[in-house]
Amino acid sequence: MTSYSSGKISGQSIVVVSQDQVSCELGGEAALLNLKAGVYYGLNEVGASIWKLIQEPKRVGEIRDAILEEYEVEPDNCEADIMALLQDLLDNGLIEVKNESIK
């Protein structure tokens, strides 16, 4: 059984897609299915780009940097939007989060 944190995501968090989901790309966007809840979710083009990035564990800062390179967006808006999306994905059991302690 996969467990995931339901806590708060930070810039130091490492995120990865959950094992309890399936997804596919649809015309540049993405459709996700939470296998436990049986609920579908849709992601726009930017959300789909983030989804592709987190197929392997990634730090939130790495995701932000990749999106800033790919899209023309203000850094503060980019980070806020990424955090909101990741929190929503986490709350819906679609990603797992590992919060790194500061060394």
Q: Consecutive sets of 10 residues in the chain, 103 residues long: mean pLDDT of each? A: 59 93 94 94 96 96 96 94 96 88 45
> Does the domain made of 14-95 have the CATH classification 2.50.20?
no
The candidate with the shortest Cα–Cα distance to 88, out of 27, 31, 26, 41, is 41
pTM, two decimals, is 0.86
Q: Which residues have a Cβ under 8 Å from the Cβ of 101 and sit 6 or more positions away?
A: none
pLDDT of residue 30: 97
pLDDT of residue 6: 55
The candidate with the shortest Cα–Cα distance to 54, out of 14, 5, 2, is 14
